[in-house]
Structures are given as C-alpha cells and as structure tokens.
Structure 1
Amino acid sequence: MMVVKVAVPVLRGKLSVLLEKGRPWSLVEHLILEALSRSEFSATELAAQGQIPRRVVIESIIRLMRAGWVQLSKHENTMCFSATESGKEVAFFSELPNFPKRVRKSISFIVDQAVGQVFRNREWIVETEGVVRERTKNDTLVWIHPESEGLKIDPGAFTASLLEDDEKLIDAASAGVSRRFALLTVRGEIVEGLPDRELPELRKIVLQAAKSFPVSSKPEQKLYSVPGITAGSGKAETVDRRIHFDLKDLILDGEAHKKAILKVLHDAKSRIYIHSTFIGKDSFMGLLPHMEAAIKRGVQIHVLWGQNDDPEELISTRRAIGEIREDDRIRDVSGSLIIHPFSTKSHAKIIVADSKVDGRFVAFVGSCNWLSSGFHSYEASIRLSDPQIVADVVDNLARLVCAENGIWSELITEFVNLSKLLRKQPPTQPPNAVARLVIGPRHGDYILRARDEATSRVFLTSHRLGPTAYPSVFSAIGALAAKNGIMAELYFGRSTGAVKNRHTVQAINDAATSGVTLVPVSSPRLHAKILAWDSRSALLTSLNWLSGDPVDGVDVKELGVFIEADGVASKIIDNFECAKE
C-alpha cells in the first residue's frame, strides 16, 4: 500500500472578542419560579406535579437560588422552597431577566484554504512550510494548492465553531493571520490527521490529491490545485425549511413593491436592513420622509449596495451615494441611517426588518432594487416570516459584508446575533409549504429540476437576454418541450449590448425550433426573474436567467427563494398574464 503525505494549507489566526457569557433561563426554570411564587413546594412535589425528573428540578432550583429568586425553608421534616420577593417580581415576566457577565478573551482559530471550514486551534496541529518540508524530505508529498485564498468565510459558521452555547458575541477584532500547513497521511482510503469530526468535502479533496500522485519508487513532491474558498463555489449550502406561506406573501408588479417597502418603513420597530444592487438619488430621496418617520420612532436603517455589470451604472451608484451623503437631511440622521461605503459585489436584492406589531422579523427576497426603482417595472419578490428561513437570509447578509481580509465589523456581529435569536424562535403558524434559499451556482440545479419534474408547463422571465446563459437554458427546457410536448414560455425585457436585433430574432427562431416560446415584453417593463413550473413550484430570484452567470468570485452574487406550495406557480403566471394585457 502506497503511503502519501498531503499538506493542506490553512490560515491560523486570532480574534480578540468581547462576549456576554451566561446561559438564558429555560422554560422549565421559569415555570418552577412561577409555581414557587404561588406556594411553597418540595423538590419531590414539583417533580410530581410537573412530571419532570427530580434531578432537573433540583438543578433549576439551584440556579434560581443563585439569582436570589428562590429561598429554602423547613417545615417539620420536609425541605421546601419558595420565591423571594425579588423572585415574585420577575416570575410573571414574559421572559426572566438574564444577567450575563461580560468577558474579553482571545480565540485562536484555523481556516482551511481548500474548503473554508473553521476549526478551533486545538483541533489541528499545523506547521510552517519550512517545518513541513524538513519533516517530509524523504516522503512522497502532495501540496494542495488553492487557486484563491483568503478569509471569505461564513460568519455564522465561524462563531458557531468558536463560541460556546452560553456566549453571545458583542465585538470582535482580528489580531492577524499567518499561513500554515496541516500535514496528513493517506494510506489507501484512510486519512490520518484530520480533526475528529465529519469532514466529507475536505476528506474527498485530500484523497483525490493523494490519488493524483503516480505510483513511484522514489520520494517526490507535487502540487494539486483546487479552486479555493473565494471562488464562489457555492459553499453556503442551504436546507429546506417547512414554512407557513400565503399567496399574499408574493409581491408581484411594481406598485406592490412600493407598498411593501412603505409598509416596512411604517411598521418597523427597531431595525431595517436593505440590500439594493445599486442606488438612485431620486428614488432614495423619495423614500427619505418615510425613513425619517421610522427613525423618529427609534428605528435604525442600514443601507447596503452591491454589484452591477454595467460600469456606467456602477459609477452612477457611487456618485448617487456621494450626493446623498452631502444632503443636510441625511447628515441630520446619519447616526440612524447608515449608508455603508463599500460594495458587497452582489446582485442580490434583500430587505430584513422587524415589526412594531409583534416584534418578529420578516425578509423580502427577489428582483427589486429597492433604492433605485421607480416601481414602474414588473417585479417579483417573496415575503418570508418563518424565523428559520429569515435567519438563513440574515446569515447571507453577514456573508456579504464579511471582507476577504478577515476584518470583523460591528454589522457582522449584529447579523450573527440576530440569526442566533431567530433560530430560537418558534414558528407562529403551522407549516403548509417548503422553501429554500438558492445561492449563486445552485440556480442551475433548478433549471434541471424544471426539466425533470414539469408535467404541464414551464414559465420563465428574465430582465435581459444575453449571449451567456440562454443557450444552456434553451437546451434544458427545449429538450423537455420536445420530448413531452410541455408548454415552455420564456419572456425577457430587453437584450444586452452584446446581443443585437438580428441575434434576438435568431434566438426567438432557435427557441421555436426547440418547441420553446421566447417572447420580448415591452409593456410592462419586465424586471422580474422567475422560474416556475406546473402549479406549485416557483423560484423568485435576482438572477437574470437569460443573461446572468452566477458562477463568480462572489459567494452570494445571486440570491433567490424556491418554494413549493399549492397554487404558487399558477398565481405568479396568472398575475403576469394579466399585467401583459
């Protein structure tokens, strides 16, 4: 059996963090305090009435006594417990007040440069390149070589790996990183030296690297290239979420989007986050009175902006931001209306906000550039209220603002803590649909799903028709239409600069040959990006299906929501047909 050494490049770094440490009160502890506020009980009586283990009762009482909310009293031969006066004061609060301690400490970490996973420093032994070369000078060695390197990581996963369950991040600052290597040994299919956890993707890369080495009788060294962690390879996998969905959660056409953002500004309780691909001064200033009204109620608004393939429009956005910041009305509210100076390089369109009605957060994902739109175009977005999928959206906002150099901002901390809060919230209504975030290159999977699953109809809209994406879309949907006679309708608003009129006519004719109807739409102005099939499958997104290329160096260049729910596709298609008439 050939033995191969594999050197995995990593970054080893250190974060200086400020934490709040302290486990929140459990529902059982709260219920016990309520019971003891009404009457005295022994631990045995509490366990019997609550039908919970006596050990859990005792552990809960100990915590409550440490807080000064429960006291001990003796009746004949029985030890009983009751609430103190301060315990009675808090017992019937909706949540027991928590008193965490603030702690500042340093956390050492390792990020592998092949996959981008985060490890505690103690999980891996890593060495400098010089030490690895010295240790392996008589061995067969493969150096894994990432084509791109950096700290472009998922902040949520980062803190989940490095913080304890009872720790809440307040602030973090990077103390720098250094390049190191983890030295692994591969014997057949066995990899020695990996951290003790499930690492299927990293293990696969290591085995492929080892197998790439030809059998040789003498020790040799070689490179094995991998894309690396900043190549937009779709590392941020998402999961299906069972959610409650109402057809009213679909935001269709321009006027509906205008009403949606005005409602967000009117209803917000404390925070609004808006990510718009670009910003237009007139559109922004048109919403300013509504922003000012929200700010007067104590709402803080964060404005993020992203990528645009048109250099002139990108320059226009930067110019608009500069002019907006010079306005006296903006300066007056600059502490509450924060226009972030950097581009996220993303084409995603997102709003996340809470509500003064119930304090819960909602998210909007879709096609609308909220801060540059005049709301005259046909748009398509979806409103999400289930805490788990809203947390997924927040996690991706955190990824968008995470700089490649590892700088940790206050906004990242805010997103990380908000996501953690949302993960703990129960749904407010029973689920009736399945939804999932769709990120970057994963959009292509849904073209193939439509091809494989559709039984009656495929419907697609794109703002633009370009030379890059539409041939692959046509080949997949065309094959479906030709094979099964399924209705396939594709609509676009305009062609890109590279596609001339004659190319557009040729594309329409080529599509017709494949059994696909390709239709330019001038009224209403089409900006929606939709893929839907049959009656209950739809994907609303920021990706221009017929011109965009989601495979890019930006992790979350495009973001959409796929949903399976009764009537969702039919509702979207019917609404679009009415808007065209």
Structure 2
Amino acid sequence: MTLLIPAVWYRARAIIERRWGWSPVEEEVLLTLRERPGTSASVAVELGIPRQVAEAAVSRLMRFGLIEVRIAPEPALAMTEAARAHLLAGRSLPERAQRREMTVSLVFDKLGGSVFRRREVVIKPVNKIPKGAMIVDFPNSDEAETDSSMEERVRHLLSSSLRSGEVFAMVRANLSLIENRFIHLDLVRARDGALPEGASDALRATVREHLTSGRLPSARPSQPARPACLDTPIETTLAQDQVVFGGGDHLARLEEVVNAARSDVFVLSTFVAAQDDAKARHGQERVWAALERAVRRGVRVHLFFGSSLDDEGKHMRAMGELQNRLRAAGAGVAAHLEPVHSHAKIIIADDGVDGGRALLGSCNWLRSPFRAHELSIELRDGAVAACLDLFAAITAAVPTARDSRDALQAMRTALRLKPGRLLDATPTEDGIPATLRIIAAPDHLPLLRRAAHDAEERLLVMTHRMGSPMIQNVFDPAQVASERIETVQALYSVPSGEVKKRDVRAAGEMGGGSIELRKIQSQSAMLHGKALLWDHDDIVVTSFNWGSQTASEDKPLDEIGLHFKGDGIADILQKILETRVLTRPAEADGAANS
C-alpha cells in the first residue's frame, strides 16, 4: 500500500559563512608596526615570539589590507593608513569572514510541513502514478513556493549539521530547481512507525489518523512565509541626498537611477497610467522614455502593479500598452499583467558598476504626474539586498514572474557576495550611521503609538488622507503625546470616504487645540507623502496612509515602511518639511493618487 503525499523538491547552492576574530599575536604585531616600520624578524625579536609565528601573522594581516610594504626610505613593513585611521578612532579590528558553498537538496512535504533531505524519501514526478496508490492532491489556491520561501526551510535543515562557528547565510538561487513531486510513503512500514527521518509531528498524526479511519487526508495551502528582511535590522547610513521630496525630485531621481542601470530595473507602482492619460502625461512621458532608453541598452525591465481595485481592468490594459511600447525598443521587457495586491511603491536597479539602488516611499512611479509633495528614501548597496528579498516576496504570487524573480535573486546574490572591505570606509560628512528596519503593514500603528509615548520633544505625522480611522489611528496617539510635549503636528491633504473637512477639524480640536493640524492642499500642490518622525533620531517613510487605513496581520506586505534610527536623522526630514511645506506655499500643481 502506497500513499502519495504532495511535496516540493528544491535544489540549490547554499552559502555558508564562518566568522572569527583576530588573535592577540596578530594585534600585537599590528600595534608594533604602528609605532615604527620593520620586518617580520624585528617584530619577532621585539615581541619575543618565534619568527615563523610573526611571519604567519604578518601574512594574514597583509592579506586583509592591514599591513603593506613600503619601499622608501627603505623597504619595510608598515601599517596601512586605513588600519591606522581605524585604530586611532578607537575601534577594534572587525571579525573576518570566510564563505563556502554546498549543494542542498530537500523535499518539503505539503501535507505535514516536514522538511526532508532528498536522500531520506522516495519521490517521483507527478505524472508517474503507480497503480493502486492513494493520492493526496496538491491543495487548491496554494501559494507558489519561491526561493525566498524555501530559503527558510534550507536554514532549518542545515541548522544542526554545520561545522562549529558556521552559520547559514543565503542560497545562490539563480540556478535553483523547484518542482512539484509526490513522496511515496509505504503504509505497511508506516503502520509500524517507520517514517522518514525528519517527519513532522503533524505528518505522523495525519498518517496515524489515516491508518485508523481510512479517510484520505487533505493538504492545506501553505501560509506565505514572512520575509526575513522584516525581522532583521540593517546597519546602514543615511545622507540628506537620499531623502527625496517633491514630484520633480522624484522624476529626476527615477531618470538618474534608470539611466545608470546596466543589468536590471524593477518597478512596482500601485497604479499604471494609460498611454493617452492626459493627467499623467506631464511626467510619464519622461518615465517611459527613460525605460525605453534602458531597454535599448540591453537592460531588462521588470514592471509590476499593485492595485486589486481594477474591476474594469484599466491598469492591466495600461500595463499591456506600456509593454507594447517598450517591446518596440527591445526584447528585455517583462510587464506583468496581474496585480500583486500591495500598496507599496518600489524601484530597484543595479547602479551600473557592482552595486544597487532602491527607492521606496509614496510615489506611484507608473502613474504619477510628479506634481505632488511625494516622499521616498533611496537605499544603496547592502540595504538593497533586503529590498530585493522584499520585492520577491511581494511579487511571489504572480505566476508569470518566475524569470523576474530569478533576476531578483541573481542581483541579490551578487550584492551579498560582493567582496567587502575589512575596515569600514571613512563615512561621508553628511552620512549618518543608522539602523534600518523594514516595517510591515500591521506594524505601523503600534509603532506610531509607541512613538507617541516615547516622544520627549516633538511628534509629526504626515498622511495623504484622513478617513474614518483617523481618531484612533492619529488623533488619539497625538493627544497622548501632546499631554507631555509642546510640538505635535499632523499634516494631511484630503479627507477620505464619508469624512469631510469639518470632521477632520473637529477631531483635531478634541485635543484642546494642542495638536497643530495642517491641511496641505491648494491649487498648486497637495501632500501625497506619508511619514512619521519623533524627537531627533527616528523617522518612518512609508506607503501607509496613517489617517485612513487599517492593516491586517494576514497581509503584512500590503504596506511597506522604512524606520531609520540614528543621531539627528529626524532633523534632516524636519528641515526639508519646514523648507518645502511648512513655511512657504507649495509651488507645483497638486494632482496625486493614493
């Protein structure tokens, strides 16, 4: 008797990383050469260690760029300037890292959620069904498995088998294999408790129930995996030029990013403008032209839209029109006609050399007329790899997007395997070291409430719309903050739904006039950016309309925010808002979309 269990076979190369520090001998050698140049022999004499130990330490230090050979005034070993600056800044030597690759082949059981090593189970293609076998069908409406979802299962599989000091880093997914298979389970042996090593408790219980009752079990759809980037802090920097404010600045930055790309450009916009859309044509012609130039250079352009509010199919048709236009310029166009059901707005591209750039915020890149007060953040290099993970997770359910996801994974792999400097580069004068966290949809309102309780000097909430949730979402937290601090501001542009302007004013006055409520809308401009800042060190730039939206735990990727924490980071955004919004009338026409 054979029971066929639906499963996914996954095969890829895993990257394993080992980190270790420097020995006291190496640090002593380095400090000795800091005082005066010398040789391995002179260092050995000064430290009282065998010469071969000194030579081995010098060799390792030279390999990592901490010691160099100087010819003048005479040949000698000396500390490099980068190492000298690092030590004089009072920083210890960073850990060294070494990577190795290994092939991983696993089978994920769709009935009980087990993760098996390939050699532990018998699997066969879905079109090779033995006679008399009982078949558990693949679940209906199942989430498509991707490299991102399988990566967590690789981590689980390898967790107990790595060498001492090693950790799983990532999968090199550009050459991966993902196939549906059936696990062939021998029920005679299973009756005696002989299940493959790694079988989950859920699978064991399901098999026991089947053997007792004779009823065929049903596989449940997989729950979409929460991307690891949502729970992993990222150490980065933020400079003023990375804060992009205003429609014109967004259009110029898009052209800059797309013009620099040499490999891939990924765009996610909530909406898509039709080729004959007069309202959007002001800026979209420049967007389309930039994408056409990229395609002619051989860049692959991957386009997605997010809105599921498309009963008449206008965004799908507009995407089709844009696809036809771009394909007239070249073949490297993947314009996906199904929505990803997310309000996030993202552009990611390579930077033309060996790095990457990403823009996340409020701008609907494929529909905006670029005349509203938009707000986005540009991320670079290390943080871009996390954005690629995020983009892959958001677009995972689009069935036509496999090639685009492969391109995402290839760029992510290249960024994460990019050789890094052992010593940190000297930070730019305006680059502030910061910790970045990517905020999922249901995490926004708890963060706002926490900020309202933690703020000691100021709190500012910026939203495009004020709707029926505005009191509990915005005004209640703002009132909590206003009981302790003087500067509490709420900026918005338009009321939403049944809410009128007078309702918004009344809600703001409930706090006794302690909340400064500003409506940023005129014939020349409206506010479309969404942000939160408090005190001097924290900002959130997001696609989430604080005053009109709610969020579901079941749909974490509906909205995406970026939370930066670093000394004086909030001052950067506050200064921009004071210059562009708060202290002078807006200068541009205010068409916007949510």
User: What TM bracket, shorter-length normalisation?
Assistant: 0.5 to 0.7
Q: Which residue of the other structure, out of 123, 143, 154, is the alignment partner of 1:151?
A: 143
Structure 1 CA distance, aligned partners of 2:109 and 2:401? Answer: 16
Counterpart of 2:388 in structure 1 is 394
Are the counterparts in 2 of residues 233 and 441 from structure 1 also a CA contact under 8 Å? Answer: no
Q: Contact 2:229–2:389 (CA<8 Å) still a contact in 1?
A: no
Superposed structure 1 runs of 4+ greater than 6 Å apart: 20-24, 45-48, 122-126, 163-167, 177-181, 193-197, 231-236
- Matches of 1:173 and 1:352, distance apart in 2: 25
- Give distance in 1, aligned partners of 2:410 and 2:515: 47
Partner SS state of residue 369, structure 1? coil
1: CA distance, partners of 2:14 / 2:502: 65
- Pairing partner for 1:343 from 339, 343, 357: 339
Per-residue CA distance 1:461-506 (angstroms, 9 max, x = gap): 1111111354233222211212x13321111111112323443343
Please list the CA deviations of residues 87-135 of structure 1 after superposition, one character each: whole Å capped at 9, or x if unmatched: xxxxxxxxxxxxx99x9x974113688xxx8833579999xxxxxxxxx
Superposition pairs of residues 108-507 of structure 1, within 5 angstroms: 108-110=107-109, 119-120=115-116, 150-151=142-143, 155-159=147-151, 161-162=153-154, 168-170=172-174, 174-176=178-180, 230=223, 237-281=230-274, 282=281, 283-307=283-307, 311=310, 315-327=313-325, 330-333=326-329, 335-356=331-352, 358-387=353-382, 389-403=383-397, 409-425=402-418, 426=420, 430=427, 432-482=433-483, 484-507=484-507
Deviations for 1:46-83, whole angstroms, at most 9, x for unmatched residues?
Answer: 997443999xx9xxxxxxxxxxxxxxxxxxxxxxxxxx
Taking a change above 3 Å as real, the CA distance of residues 325 and 392 of structure 1, as seen in their structure-2 partners, is closer
Contact 1:111 1:119 in 2 (8 A): no
1:552, CA displacement in angstroms? 5.8
> Does the 8 Å CA contact 2:458/2:486 hold for their aligned counterparts?
yes
With over 3 angstroms needed to count, the CA separation of the structure-2 counterparts of 1:167 and 1:397, relative to structure 1, is: closer
Shift of 1:549: 1.8
TM-score (norm 2): 0.63
**How far apart, CA to CA, are the structure 2 residues paired with 1:380 and 1:494?**
17
Runs of 5+ in structure 2 lacking a partner? 20-50, 64-100, 123-139, 159-167, 186-194, 203-219, 275-280, 585-594
Report the AA paired with residue 381 of structure 1: S
User: Where do residues 42-53 of structure 1 align in structure 2 (5 Å cutoff)?
Assistant: 49-51=55-57
Residues 530 and 544 in structure 2, CA contact (< 8 A), matched pair in contact too: yes
Measured against aligned partners, the alpha-carbon deviations of 1:301-346 in whole angstroms (never above 9, x if no partner) come to: 11111026x557x84322322333444xx23235212211221111
DSSP 3-state at the match of 1:244:
strand
Q: 1:453 to 1:118 in 2, by over 3 A?
A: farther
In the TM superposition, residue 171 of structure 1 has moved relative to its aligned partner by 5.0
**Distance in 2, Cα, partners of 1:342 & 1:179:** 32
- C-alpha RMSD of the superposition: 4.6
The whole-number CA distance in structure 1 between the counterparts of 2:108 and 2:416 is: 24
What residue in structure 2 maps to residue 520 of structure 1? 519
CA contact (8 A) 2:462 2:490 kept: yes
Q: Secondary structure at the match of 1:563?
A: strand
Q: Specify the code of the residue in structure 2 equivalent to 1:419.
A: R
Q: Deviations over 1:264-302 (max 9, x none)?
A: 122112111111111113354432222222223221111
Give the AA of the match of 1:518. L
Q: Compared with structure 1, are the counterparts of its residues 22 and 365 closer, same or farther at alpha carbon in structure 2 (3 Å cutoff)?
A: closer
Name 1:13's counterpart in structure 2.
7
Partners of 2:539 and 2:344 lie apart in 1 by 18
> Whole-Å Cα distance in 2 between the matches of residues 396 and 408 of structure 1?
14
Write the distance in 2 (CA, Å) between the matches of 1:123 and 1:242: 39
Distance 1:235 1:318 in 2: 30
Q: Secondary structure at the match of 2:336?
A: strand
Tell me if the contact between 1:241 and 1:436 (Cα under 8 Å) persists in the aligned partners.
Answer: yes
SS at match of 2:230: coil
What does the per-residue CA deviation read over 1:118-171, in whole Å, with 9 as the maximum and x for residues that have no partner?
833579999xxxxxxxxxxxxxxxxxxxxx984366732513533987973345
Residues 511-566 of structure 1: per-residue CA shift (max 9 Å, x gap)? x4373233221043100000001122100001011112222643311111111233
* Aligned equivalent of 1:564: 565
2: distance between equivalents of 1:499 and 1:118? 50
* Cα gap change, 1:418 to 1:489, in 2 (>3 Å): same
Partner letter of residue 440 of structure 1?
Answer: A
Give the Cα–Cα distance (whole angstroms) in 1 for the partners of residues 481 and 307 of structure 2.
Answer: 33
The structure-2 alpha-carbon separation of the partners of 1:408 and 1:290, relative to structure 1 and needing over 3 Å to count, comes to closer
Unaligned runs of 5+ in 1: 1-10, 27-44, 58-99, 127-147, 182-192, 206-226
- Report the secondary structure of 1:513's partner residue: coil
* Residue aligned with 2:472, SS: helix
Give the direction of change, closer, same or farther, for the CA distance of 1:334–1:342 in structure 2 (3 Å limit): farther
Distance 1:465 1:557 in 2: 19
* TM-score (norm. length: structure 1): 0.65
Q: For residues 247 and 414 of structure 1, what CA distance do their matches in structure 2 show?
A: 30
Paired AA for residue 233 in structure 2: D
- What is the aligned length? 443
Q: 2: CA distance between counterparts of 1:239 and 1:167?
A: 17
